[in-house]
Structure 1
Amino acid sequence: MKRRHLGRALAMVIFVAVVVSYFIPLPYYVTKPGMAKELAPIIKVEDGYKESGDFKLTTISMGEANVFTYGLAKLMKYWDIYREDEIRGEEETDKQYEMRQLQEMEGSKVKAIISAYREAGKSYTPIYRGVYVYGIVAGLPAEKVLEVGDRITEVDGQRFTSSKQFIHYVSGKRAGKTLKLEIIRDKQALQKEVQLAKLPKTGKVGMGIVLVDDVAVKTEPKVTIDTAKIGGPSAGLMFTLEIYNQLVKEDITKGKDIAGTGTMDENGNVGPIGGIHQKVVAADKSGAEVFFAPNEKGEAGSNYSVAKKTAEDINTDMKIVPVDTLQDALDYLEKMKK
């Protein structure tokens, strides 16, 4: 009887230990293959052409590690473990990281629209909306006033047409000078004041923010991209291909299931991303027949070389295609057989 009670007690202790370990975070992140998501349902060009196949973005799944997921990642193939400082910036909070990822996604959509509309010969007009606060230098006055995700639309009653103009105006002031800002935060217009200071690394005068241009695009025909809470810039190439395909009469999917990844700039250049081995696994599980991978001009250890090695390792029939530009992808699709 005593042994039975001891056995139950031991089982209860183990159960509690497992539950507790699940909720205790570790200073690591775990990533694993995510999903391959069809783009046609989330990208809509007004009166756009339909397609017989699919373009898909690919993702990785990431979360804070606990004892359970950390141990599992040690055992599972294509699961990776990263230190916090490898994922988040120095002194960057979870909220700031999330905001940065969402802003990178917004920038990715703008660049994809510009590249696709230019390639299709359609009308588009970039609209400068202000300076987006991408990061904040710790210890400077701006840290107590601004937040990552704020959009600065006016400085001392002036509006600018580029971040270069903004930087030129600010750097021309002296340390200790207070600037009056108009910002947009959570869709609300706010008035703020920020005192300038000398930046610790350069000694130049500034607010102590990392910034990027906040740009929207007016197009004809109109296009909408509903990415919900998907973050990061890595879907740029696939966004571009989906938008382009809805703009032109010829269906460049030719009925095939096409996945891929890679950033996209305004000039149609494809850039590398992280976690491509996991994205290859995700694409293969979704049934993709083709996977576009950034070639990085053939450099050793490029996204393409890693993707190709992963494809061989999982023994997939999916074709891995290297691309440096949007044109590389279009050229491949043009020659691709139905």
Structure 2
Amino acid sequence: MPRRTATMLASTLLLIALLCAGVLIKVPYAEMSPGPTVNTLGEHGGEPVLNIKDHKNYDTSGHLNMTTVRVTGADYRMNLVEAVYGWLRHDSAVVPHSTLYPDNKSAQEVDEQNAEEFSASQESAKVAALEELGIPVKSRVLVSSVVKDGPSEGTLHAGDTIKAVDGRTVKDPEGVAKLVTKHEPGEKVTFTVVPAAKAKAAEKANRQPSKSDEKNVTVTTKKAPDDGRAIVGIQPGAGHTFPFEIDIKLADVGGPSAGLMFALGIVDKLTPQDLTGGKFVAGTGTIDDNGKVGEIGGIQMKLVAARDKGAEFFLTPSGNCPSAAKDKPDGLTLVKTRTMDDAMSALKKIRSGDTDALPQCKAD
């Protein structure tokens, strides 16, 4: 066999061997890519994303799109070839597996956490929207979750309304933690609560829970493993009673990053002013009850998804601005957004055509 032919054959066989090895070798990475983007003012799966009952709704136009990121599953392990291909693509990002799935959580645990965050973001979006419109929302302190095998398991339950701790009225979740940590580990704490079932019954009947609905529950504290403070093994949170029904329906979406766009969609449907002026606006960002916008992950993928769908403007959390501006898709204006008020002000400029006055993101 001629030397040249032998060399080519050996090179081909080596290349095939390397490709086979690349397919077989698993690497600890995961991939992020642009996910679906949905207009919060429209329908998804044949149903309105935002369904508001018992209050006047107004016609809307344009788009207020929430954006998502598609990620490989918690149990999926990329091979070397897939990782290299993902690194070379402009519209995807390959990141360490632990970035998306910390602490070796199972796929079910990650899904449950995302669902909880999505539900909490919906609640905060409703509160922020109604606060923006000056519509009062009644709030209460409740048990968000109970730690498995913790001191409160079987005694306190998720959804219980916390009225007082050791006889002292609590007005926010932080107040619960402060009163509990005044104790030494091993001491007893008395909670005055309205059980979840009675709280729901009162809300359904459009009344406040009465004294007869309340009961006292005693929990023995234990020592926190990290700093030794007294804990009872619950996560306190805020619950709200809304003056009318606001239903957000969006299947197969998790996490808290759609909060801002849900809040804006609610405001648009409840006001005669068309917020977008018919323009295509997309965005992302968490939101709290006070309307503060928080940064999110996967910003580059969301920008690509929004621009591919036709967005002209993208409401960008201020914390994401530097990285977003480094690789901005052509034709997409990134609007720096810190609060709900910032977003409302930006939409006013967009619909009036005063886009030069928009606070735009800049790279560091």
Normalization by structure 2: what TM-score?
A: 0.68
Opposite residue 335 of structure 2, the aligned amino acid is V
Counterpart in the other structure of 1:66:
78
For 2:265, the aligned partner's letter is E
Cα distance in structure 1, aligned partners of 2:254 and 2:89:
25
Q: 1:309 to 1:91 in 2, by over 3 A?
A: closer
Pair 1:224–1:141, CA change in 2 (3 A): closer
* 1:135-176 alpha-carbon deviations (Å, 9 max, x no partner): x6xxx9439x69xxx726279x98976434543564456545
Structure 1 residue 120 corresponds to structure 2 residue 130:
no
Q: 1:308 to 1:295 in 2, by over 3 A?
A: same
Match in the other structure for 1:34: 35
1:307 and 2:324 are equivalent in the alignment: yes
Q: Look up the match of 2:228.
A: 203
What is the aligned-residue identity percentage?
27
Residue among 343, 358, 364 paired with 1:329: 343
Which of 246, 260, 263 does residue 223 from structure 1 map onto? Answer: 246
SS at match of 1:281: helix
**CA distance in 2 between partners of 1:195 and 1:27 (Å):** 42
Of residues 121, 130, 136 in structure 1, which corresponds to 2:143?
130
- 1:283-322 alignment, distance < 5 Å: 283-296=306-319, 303-311=320-328, 314=329, 316-322=330-336
Measure, in 1, the Cα distance between the counterparts of 2:221 and 2:331.
Answer: 58
Instruction: Note if contact 1:73-1:79 (Cα within 8 Å) is conserved in structure 2.
Output: yes
Letter of the 1:309 partner, please give it.
Answer: K
For 1:240, the equivalent position in structure 2 comes to: 263
Please give the secondary structure, in 1, of the residue aligned with 2:90.
coil
Q: Does 1:52 align with 2:61?
A: yes
Aligned counterpart, 1:142: 150
**Correspondence for 1:163 among 173, 176, 181:** 173
Query: Counterpart of 1:142 in structure 2: which amino acid?
Result: G
Structure 1's consecutive aligned runs of 4 or more residues displaced over 6 angstroms after TM superposition are 157-160, 177-184
| Superposition deviation, residue 215 in structure 1 | 1.9
Gaps of 5+ in 1: 1-9, 185-192, 297-302
Of Structure 1 and Structure 2, the greater strand share is in: 1
Residue 85 (structure 1) shift? 2.8
* Equivalent residue in structure 1 for 2:287, among 235, 256, 264: 264
Q: CA RMSD in A?
A: 3.7
Following TM superposition, by how much is the alpha carbon of 1:254 offset from its aligned partner in structure 2, in angstroms? 0.7
DSSP-derived class of the 2:58 partner:
coil
Conserved? CA contact 2:37–2:305, under 8 Å: yes
CA contact (8 A) 2:40 2:63 kept: yes
CA distance in 1, matches of 2:293, 2:274: 22
Which one-letter code corresponds to 1:31 in the other structure?
M
* SS of alignment partner, residue 103 of structure 1: helix
Does the residue aligned with 1:142 lie in a helix, a strand or coil?
coil
1:66 corresponds to which letter in structure 2? Answer: M
Q: Which consecutive residues of structure 2, in runs of 5 or more, have no partner in the other structure?
A: 1-12, 42-47, 197-217, 354-364
Q: Say whether residues 1:213 and 2:223 are aligned partners.
A: no
**Equivalent position of 2:205 in the other structure:** none
Distance 2:342 2:256 in 1: 19
Query: Secondary structure at 2:272's aligned position in 1?
Result: coil
